[in-house]
């Protein structure tokens, strides 16, 4: 098992670690858990980053926007510059981000319609009129 982890670590990319750090612990397989444990043993900074990433995921999943300020303060004290840069970005528009985490509303349906419109528009670019575009988007009851 250890040799398999060493082979895996040899070809391991930092982006893969980031994905594993953000994946819920109950969705990780045994090899992935061992890999995370080995990474955390090798660096206390990685262990702190893992805890901070899991805390942020918990804030998002459980709509705990009121705890966001405390999380940002922990990040800024952590000494991990990459996550601190992210936290400073959150501070720039703090109120809207706190609302996005706390409130039950989502702009997902709107974004879905915009995406559909843009896809159809790209397919039709230069080939059809606005009338045809409208007919493809607006459903009329028959």
At 93-107, the pLDDT tens digits run 999 999 999 999 888
What is the reported pTM? Answer: 0.69
- Burial of 133 by CB count in 10 Å (0-12 exposed, 13-18 middle, 19+ buried)? middle
Kindly tell me if the per-residue pLDDT of 10 is higher than 90.
no
pLDDT in tens, 17-41: 889 999 999 999 999 999 999 999 9
The residue to which tokens 């400073």 are assigned: 88
- Burial of 124 by CB count in 10 Å (0-12 exposed, 13-18 middle, 19+ buried)? middle
Give, in degrees to the nearest 5, the angle at Cα 86 between 80 and 91: 115
Give the residue, 140 or 111, on which the prediction is more confident.
111
pLDDT in tens, 58-76: 999 999 999 999 999 999 9
């Amino acid at each position: 098992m250890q040799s398999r982890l060493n082979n895996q670590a040899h070809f391991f990319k930092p982006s893969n670690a980031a994905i594993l750090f953000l994946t819920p612990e109950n969705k990780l397989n045994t090899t992935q858990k061992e890999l995370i444990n080995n990474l955390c043993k090798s660096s206390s900074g990685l262990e702190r980053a893992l805890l901070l990433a899991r805390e942020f995921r918990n804030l998002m999943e459980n709509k705990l926007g009121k705890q966001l300020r405390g999380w940002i303060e922990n990040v800024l004290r952590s000494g991990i510059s990459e996550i601190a840069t992210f936290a400073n970005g959150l501070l720039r528009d703090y109120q809207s981000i706190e609302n996005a985490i706390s409130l039950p509303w989502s702009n997902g349906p709107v974004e879905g319609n915009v995406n559909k419109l843009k896809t159809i528009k790209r397919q039709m670019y230069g080939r059809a009129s606005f009338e045809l575009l409208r007919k493809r988007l607006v459903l009329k009851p028959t």
